[in-house]
């Protein structure tokens, strides 16, 4: 039972070790043009996931403030941009 508790606590490190071991055993999976397509996966999907996760961790007060400010900035920019025409 103690081993199971330890594995639940250290799940991330166990996952990293398994990923490294899998990459060592079968490196052709992650090569350019391979089944994982790292040229697309790393460029777009990983970056989008990182930004999505950091957005989920924002406090709601900060997010509400930003949501209110965005339309104001857009409207003022749009209005000032039409002055030059």
pLDDT tens-digit readout, 2-37: 999 999 999 999 999 999 999 999 999 888 888 888
Q: Which two tokens stand for residue 27?
A: 């490196």
Residue 74 lies in a domain: no
Residue 14 lies in a domain: yes
DSSP 60-82: HHHHHHHHHHHHHHHHHHHHHHG
pLDDT tens-digit readout, 44-79: 888 999 999 888 877 766 555 655 555 555 555 555
Higher pLDDT, 22 or 40: 22
> Of 30, 48, 28, nearest to 39 (Cα)?
30
Q: How many domains does the chain have?
A: 1
Q: How many contiguous H segments (helices) and E segments (strands) does the chain have?
A: 5, 0
Q: Which two tokens stand for residue 54?
A: 């950091």
Residue 26 lies in a domain: yes
The boundaries of the domain holding residue 10 are 1-31
- Backbone phi and psi for residue 32, each to the nearest 5 degrees, phi listed first: -55, 130
- pLDDT value, residue 5: 93
């Amino acid at each position: 039972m103690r081993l199971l508790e330890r594995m639940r606590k250290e799940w991330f490190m166990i996952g990293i070790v398994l990923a490294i071991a899998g990459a060592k055993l079968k490196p052709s999976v992650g090569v350019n043009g391979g089944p994982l397509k790292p040229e697309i996966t790393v460029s777009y999907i990983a970056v989008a996931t990182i930004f999505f996760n950091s957005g989920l961790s924002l406090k709601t007060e900060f997010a509400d403030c930003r949501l209110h400010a965005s339309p104001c900035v857009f409207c003022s920019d749009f209005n000032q941009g039409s002055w030059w025409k």
